[in-house]
Structure formats: structure tokens, C-alpha cells
Amino acid sequence: MAKAIEFISVCKDFNGKGIVHDLNLSIEKGNLVTLIGPSGCGKTTTLKMINRLIEPTSGTISVHGVDISRIDPVELRREIGYVIQQIGLFPHLTIEENISLVPRMKGQRKDVCVKRAYELLDVMGMDPAVFASRYPKELSGGQQQRVGVARALAADPEIILMDEPFSALDPISREQLQDEIAKLQAELQKTIVFVTHDMDEALKIADQIVLMQHGKIIQQDVPEQILRHPKNDFVRQFVGEKRFAQAATRATIEDAIVQAVTVRPHRGIAECIQLMRTRRVNGLIVTDRSGRYLGVVDAMRVLGSFADEGATAATVMDASVPVIQPGTDVAPVIALLQADGHGFLPVVDGEERLLGAVTRGSVLKLMTPTGGEVHEDAAMASV
Ligand SMILES: Nc1ncnc2c1ncn2[C@@H]1O[C@H](COP(=O)(O)OP(=O)(O)O)[C@@H](O)[C@H]1O
Ligand SMILES: [Mg+2]
């Protein structure tokens, strides 16, 4: 694969203090690579060396196979898009003029630039008819950041550098822009180097994640491998214990058992509905007098038989639901929950006595044990 950017033994000192140490990094064309690590670990310094805003103390950086120390910095920067947190739009220029600035400097015709600016606003989800003639101060932070991305794309650079571009935004704008970037990159096949300190952001958008600490690369890999095989404690901590890939392999199903709302078989349908309503569950588990499991009644079954005056829990229940026993591995339980439409499964002991239930929500929580946010679908409330 063609290399878009290559660092060979790059070091950077500031005032004699080593900040980036012997960095070797290869970025393939068309990849979105995130540089991630704690504050001060050298991410910004590394990024700025790519467009020569910072010069390395030693080593070589190549862009598309050319040693950049031999390219005029101003020329280089025109070929590389750059988006930072404080986007720095020119306040006295309209949005269209801000986006067209670099192409105009490169001598492109005005009408071509205007057309392109309109297209890019559209790509970024902003109506050109509304926004093109506005000034930056008339835009929200999220909108300004979108314009910043549009501006970086305007000269159609092969490479775009982004330094925590979304970190000052509210969570919703941030999510939206992350989606836009991932989509853009898939469509346009740009090489994007994206600095962040947010692992969720990196995992969401990256083809490759480069984890840095104290000016060194600790691990470079695809998100899946970073999650599954963090190289050391630092990576493990950075990825966070809450990630499910690792948690799932340690978890046992016992921890996912929740209390079940039970009903006796002779109870009528109206009683079942009343019980589901007051206990806020979408299903009931039918047990006999001694607590033995008999079947499952879910809201749909109940509603479907409501017209039948004589229907009871026993007559509408589904007795074919697979039951699970404590000690079962998590993986087959997930498969069963996927295959079974009720969203929950009864857990029974060796004598078929009901111990509780596992739900999609309770299993998901199990995989994010340190309180990772799991938004339970209301329809999966514990039973
Ligand atoms: N121009 C500079 N002069 C001196 N020290 C600097 C300069 N730029 C960055 N540093 C230092 O280099 C280290 C790495 O900075 P930076 O690359 O901005 O980290 P990050 O982006 O990962 O937070 C920090 O300790 C910072 O203080
Ligand atoms: Mg930084």
C-alpha cells in the first residue's frame, strides 16, 4: 500500500528537552489514523511536524514519498488541510469566502470556488442558501467547526490534519461531526490524521489508532485489536476497563441475573396486563406453587388474546423458551437472547425452580461493569 505519511526516526526537542523520541510511524493512503494519548504526550507536536509548523530536531518525514524538508512550507500547507479546535475563521469574511480562501490563493476562478463552497456546505449538512453569505459570528460553535472542515476540504487536499477539532463542542454536535468525518473519509478516501484524547472518539472513527505516551508510540493497531489485545497496563487503562471485549470474557452470567416478575398459571389476562403495568415490565414468567418454571408470557401474546375471556397465563404462555442455568457462559446466552424474541430468558436451577431472569439490558451491563453508559431500551426492562 502506498504510504501517505512516513516518520523515520523523528525526534523533537524543545529547549534541549526531548518531547518526541525516535518516532517511526507509517500512515497509509486513504486511512483515518487517530493519534491518542494523555495531554502533553506530544500529539500536537507530532501533527505539526507533518505540515512543518514545527521542524523535527532529527529524522525524516515524507509525504507521498517526498522528504518534506525539501518542500516549501507554504506550498506544503496548501496541499494539506488543517483543522484545529479554535477554528480561526476570518471574522470579516463570509462563510463562502472563508471556505474559498485557499483555492482563491491558488488562483482558481471565483465562480468555480463559490460553486465548490456551496457543495461543501451541503456535504457538511449546512444549507448554502442560508449560510454562505453569513459571517462566522452568526454561527454556533458546531456550525463554525463544520465550516472549518469544509474549508480544509476546499482545496481538495489528499491529506487532512485535525487537532482535537471537536473537543470544544457539545456531545450531540460532536457525535454528528464524527459521523460526518467517517462518512467523508469513506467517500473521498482522504488520508486523515486526527488527534484526540478521547478513546470513544478514536474507536468510533479510526482505521488505525496510534497510542502515544511520553513522546513515544506505545501501540499502533486497528481498533478491534486495541480493544482485544491492549499491549500493556497503560493501554488497558486508556482503553478503560469498561470496554466490553475484555469484560465479556471474564464475566459470568450470574452477575446478569435480575429479579423476575412472576405470575401463577391460573391468573387471567387482565391480571397479567395489570401486573406488567404496575411492575413496568414487558413480560412475566409463569411459575407453579412451588416456584417451578412453566413458561413465559409477554405483552404481545397477552394483548393478542385479550378478546378471549377465558384466557389465562397458562393458556397464552410460551413454554418453548430456552431456559438457562447459572454457570452458563455469556456467549451462548447472548446468542439465545438474539434468537429469542422476548428479550429475556428465565434462569432456573437443577430442579427447574426459577432463580430470576437475564435480559438484553442486564447482559449488556455485565459487559460494561464500571458503569459504562448502556441505554436500555424501555422494552427490555428487567422482568
Ligand atoms: N513551542 C514549545 N516550546 C516548548 N515546549 C513545548 C512547545 N510546544 C510543546 N511543548 C511541550 O511539549 C510537550 C508536548 O506538547 P504537545 O505536543 O502539545 O502535547 P499534546 O498535544 O499531546 O497535549 C508538552 O510538555 C509541551 O509543554
Ligand atoms: Mg495537543
Q: What pLDDT, on the 0 to 100 scale, is given for residue 342?
A: 81
Total count of domains within the chain: 2
User: Is the Cβ atom of 213 under 6 angstroms away from ligand 1?
Assistant: no
Could you tell me if 237 and 372 lie in one domain? no
Could you tell me if 212 and 329 lie in one domain? no
Could you tell me if 18 and 83 lie in one domain? yes
Question: Which of 221, 241, 261 is at the close of a domain?
Answer: 241
Could you tell me if 92 and 201 lie in one domain? yes
User: Is the Cβ atom of 45 under 6 angstroms away from ligand 1?
Assistant: yes
Q: What pLDDT, on the 0 to 100 scale, is given for residue 249?
A: 57
Side-chain-side CA neighbours of 133 within 13 Å: the count stands at: 2
Q: What pLDDT, on the 0 to 100 scale, is given for residue 126?
A: 92
Could you tell me if 42 and 135 lie in one domain? yes
The ligand 1 atom nearest the CA atom of 54 = 1
* CA 168 to ligand 2 centroid distance, Å: 13
What range does the domain containing 38 cover? 3-241
Give mean pLDDT in consecutive 10-residue pieces for the chain, a chain of 383 residues.
Answer: 92 96 96 95 97 97 97 93 85 95 88 93 91 94 89 89 88 84 86 93 93 96 89 87 53 84 92 89 91 92 86 92 88 85 89 92 72 38 39
Question: 96-133 burial, b for 16+ CB within 10 Å, e for fewer?
Answer: bbbbbbbbbeeeeeeeebbebbbebbebbebebeebbe
Q: What pLDDT, on the 0 to 100 scale, is given for residue 4?
A: 96
* CA 188 to ligand 2 centroid distance, Å: 26
* CA 251 to ligand 2 centroid distance, Å: 37
* CA 194 to ligand 1 centroid distance, Å: 17
Question: Can you tell me the distance from the alpha carbon of 21 to that of 108, in angstroms, rounded to the nearest whole number?
Answer: 41
Ligand number nearest CA of 43 is: 1
Q: What pLDDT, on the 0 to 100 scale, is given for residue 355?
A: 93
- Maximal C-alpha separation, the chain: 88
Q: What pLDDT, on the 0 to 100 scale, is given for residue 383?
A: 40
Could you tell me if 48 and 170 lie in one domain? yes
Three-class DSSP category at 74:
helix
Does some domain include residue 305?
yes
Does some domain include residue 247?
no
Question: Which of 180, 208, 241 is at the close of a domain?
Answer: 241
Could you tell me if 158 and 222 lie in one domain? yes
Q: What pLDDT, on the 0 to 100 scale, is given for residue 241?
A: 56
**Read out DSSP for 193-258?**
EEEES-HHHHHHH-SEEEEEETTEEEEEE-HHHHHH---SHHHHHHH-TT-HHHHHHH--GGGG-B
Q: What pLDDT, on the 0 to 100 scale, is given for residue 184?
A: 83
